[in-house]
Structure formats: C-alpha cells, structure tokens
Amino acid sequence: MTKAASMGIERIRVNVGSKFRPDKPAHVDKVLTKIATEHGEGFELDGYEPSEGVAIFKRESNTLVASHAGNDSMEIRLPQDTKQSDGKKRAVSLADTYPGYQMTTFEPHRRRAIISKLTDEVIRARDAISNALSVDPWNIQVAERTDGGFDFSLPPTYRPSKHDGALEEVASVIIGEPGWYVETDTHGRRGSIIPAELATFDAVYKTPMPKKMESFDHTNKDHFKVPMGVALPEPGQRHQTMNLDLDAHNHSQIGGTSGSGKTVTINAYIAYLLARGADMCVIDTPAKSADFMWCKEFLTPGGWGCDSIRHSAATAEMVRQEGQRRGKELKRAGEVNFKDLPKGKGFKPLVVVVDELTALYAMDSVPKIPKDAPQKQIELKEKAEATNFAKSLLKDAIKNIAAELRFVGIFLMISTQIASTNTGIDTALRTNLGHKALLGAKPTENNRKLVFSDHEAVPMIPPHVREDTAAAKGVGAIEPEGATPVVFKSFFRTTHEYRDWLISLGVAQRTDAAVTPTPAWVAEVFGEDDLDDGADEPAPSAPNHQPGPAGSKAAEQWDALAL
C-alpha cells in the first residue's frame, strides 16, 4: 500500500489482485475497511488497474492549509483508535510516508494530524524550544521571523517561573547568541525569540542639569527621586535613568574600592539635592575632604565636618539635635512623618554625606604607659583617648541619625571601602541603610556579601561590560529599597560643571568660616570650656574654581579626575 499527495487530495494505491471487481460494493467495502484501520476514513475508489491488480483510492477531504512556518502543510486523517500516546509513533510513520514533512499538529480526538515542510532552522528551533517547555515538538508551532529569530506558540502547561530560564538559554546559547532574548505573552499563549546585541554602556553619561529646578516639595514624589546614573537594560529594552528613590528609604550606603567611582556617584547625589534646595552636610577625614571642596561653599552653616575628627563629631551632633528639634515640632503638629505635613509646611531636607566611614570609625591605639611616664608619652596617650572619644561621639550620633531621624526629613549617605562589623559598622547601622550600592566592575564575592542584604538577588557586572575599559568605568550594582536590583553606570560631570550649575540656579554660597563648626559649638559638644577646636591639621585649601570650558569633553575629564 503506497501513498501520494497532490493539491488537496490524498491517494492510496492498494494491491487488490486480479479477482477484485470495482463494480462490486462488497469488494470495495472490504478494502475501505482495511484502509480505515491504518489511515482513517473518508476514502473512495478512484480507479482500478487490472493489469497490475492495483486499486486507487482517494480522499478529497484532505485540504491544503497554510502552515505556521509559511510552507505547505497537509491535514492527515487518523485512524479512529488513535490515542494521544501514539504521537511519537505517528510522527515517525508520517515522516517516512511523506519525506520532507514533519508532524506539526497531532489531534487524535479530532482524528487528524497536520504535516508541514519545515526548514532545518525551524526544525532545530522547534526541537530546542519544545525541550525547554517539556512538550513534544508537535505541541508547539514555530515560524521564522524576518529578523532571523523565531515566533512560537506556548502550550497550556507553560509557566514563566518554570520555563523562562530554559527558554533564555535556548535563545542565547542553543539557537542564538548572547544578547538574544525571549518575549512571552501568557494570555495570548505565544512567544518570540528575538535577535539583539548585548546591552552595554557608553563611555560617559552626563548628569542631567535642567536650567530650572523646583524647590523640594515633600508632597511631590518625583522630588524624592535622585538621578544617579543609567541602568543596564534588559534585552530588547532601552537604557533608562536609575533613580535613587528617597521616598522608599532616606538612607543609602555606597561601597567600593579606591578608584571605583564612589566620589563621582556621590557628587551626582550632592549636586541634585543642593539644586533642590536641600541643606547639606559633609563629614570626611581631612585627607579625603579635598574630593568635596567643590561643594563646601554650598553647605549649611556648620555643615563642613572635615577638618578634624572633633569637627566631624560636632557636625554630626548638630544634625542629631536638629533632628530632635524637628521631632518635637512634628509631634506638636500631630504627625509622625514629615511627609504627612501639609504642602508648604514641611521641613527642608537635611542631607548628611559621610565619606570614608571606616577611617572615621577606626579607633586609635592607646599606649599603655607607667605611672611615672614622661610627659611626651602622657600627651600621646591623652591625644589617642581624646580622638577615640570624638570618634565615639561621632559613631553614636550617626547611629542615632540612621535609626531614629528618618521621619523628620534627614537623609544619610554613607560611603566606605569595607562595610563589616570588624571595621566598626555594626549590623544595626547597615540594617538602617535602605539603599545599598557597590561600585566597581570587579567586586569580590565577599565585598558583595558585606554590602548587599541579599547578594544573590543582585546582578553581577556582565563579562562583556567588565572587560570593556570604557564601558566599565563608573559601573556598579545597586540594591534599592523597594525596587529591583540592577547594574548601573554613574552619571558624570566635572566639579566645575556642578558648581557652575548650582550658581546658575541661585543656590546660596557661604564663606569657609560660615560652614565650619564654630569653636564655641565644638566646645559645647565636648563639654569643654576651652574654645580650642583641636583641629588635627589645616583644612585643605579650596581649589580656585573657574567656570568649566564650554563643550568640555566629559570623557577626557573623567580619566583625569581622581575618583
């Protein structure tokens, strides 16, 4: 018994012998019964060749249909007793009977199958996709896209959480390349594998600098969003600004090794909030404070806590006492959060940037000396004890600010190279820092564990970004409070550009004396009568800022900047 296919007609040649009489219904019915057992019903006698003893039967109900792959397909009638479990057997049988065709639909309950001519590419894609979806190949439909990808149907058993990972592997490894991605429509039960390039970063993304900035309004959620950089997009998506949402949490932590881009990132944070009219304080070691000299003149009175550890403690204590004052005012207003105050009645944001926290917290070694020690040894011991006392005051104030002053409009940004209990940053402080970022293209696993709450949920810097010198500069990963962790690249402007922008917006400028803690305040904080503030060393001289040259090349200046 042999078959041949033509346009919409299926013919079968049956060896019936020379005694077959085509005019006798009994003879014809006997052959039709045998045909129905193997090939289904619907056939009729089309001719008889006596010389060869061959009867020809046809089934005109088999119509030509357009397949999902854009090639010819045929509908095949299945025997009445065909079961769902017969799929593999029927697929092999039909492929043998119809060379060049593959079974693409198998519906034994409707007693039909569809066979189609498929390209080698579609066959390969269909096999890989069906394997990822844990179904037989004929339970999905696959078609080539004009862009070189594939569209496919989704079976009823598809579950994103169960199958998307395997589909992504099919797209980027098995039938495609890195950068190819999958889109699925669960409701429409269809999906696509789409060719694309791997997402990466440009060399530089300039910090947005609008000509006008509205003053901070605690009733406007957009004012809480600080543009920090550009997020690495998902496959097929465009780059979007990565905003630090201070409405989700007031406090942030930035970690990273020297040169990773922490200062560049913090500068973008400082500039935006100053442009919104926030009061700003900076606490740093004398050696590192040069990084922030550009913004010193824009700080709030007493907000430059960088010339000595005593000044750092005095600035921190000033913030704590201001927070306590705000808390009392909030209580009198009958509210528990400054965001609940009426428009125009809220507090101005008070932002505290603490750089090099590990160095600020590291206790000095106190020498053990005999009772009759020389005066020089006594002075060294007293100095170490005084320094450690100042550091204890600083640590206590920062801990209090982080834990208790979120609800009065105080925002804390802490930067450190290492964030562990051993370096003085206890678990309680880390818990109160909602946003956590780690700068650097090649952080260690231990770095990630120390910074992030759930390091496994935070994406790694992709190898193709990490290995591209231009793309890797200023990159990091962030675990934002209330949002999905992403890889991002920090915005960049020179400090000249930031300063010129703030001046153009009319941000108030102050003298060095105005922003430095007064001797009287330092003495009050330390409970002293002596007004000597005990600065460890002279403050770094402010650079002679001049307006940045028009059209300056940010990429070149990035390389020249000490990150």
pLDDT for 499 equals 97
Burial of 83 per CB tally in 10 Å (0-12, 13-18, 19+): exposed
Residues of the chain with pLDDT under 70: 1-9, 40-42, 60-71, 418-425, 530-563
Domain boundaries, the chain: 2-59, 119-198, 249-560
Residue 55 β-bridge partners: 14, 48
CA distance linking residue 508 with residue 45, whole number of Å: 99
Query: In the CATH scheme, what is the code of domain 249-560?
Result: 3.40.50
pLDDT for 422 equals 60
Which pLDDT tens digit goes with each residue over 266-303? 999 999 999 999 999 999 999 999 999 999 999 999 99
pLDDT for 63 equals 37
pLDDT for 237 equals 86
Would you say 232 and 201 are in contact if contact means Cβ atoms under 8 Å apart?
yes
Which of 2, 4, 55, 63 lies closest to 30 in space, CA to CA? 55
List b or e across 175-185, with b for residues whose CB sees 16 or more CB atoms inside 10 angstroms: bbeebbbbebe
Nearest 10 degrees: Cα torsion 272, 276, 278, 282: 20
Which pLDDT tens digit goes with each residue over 421-442? 565 567 888 899 999 999 999 9
pLDDT for 420 equals 56
Report pTM. Answer: 0.74
pLDDT for 24 equals 92
pLDDT for 537 equals 42
- Cα-to-chain-centroid distance, residue 381: 50
Would you say 358 and 425 are in contact if contact means Cβ atoms under 8 Å apart?
yes
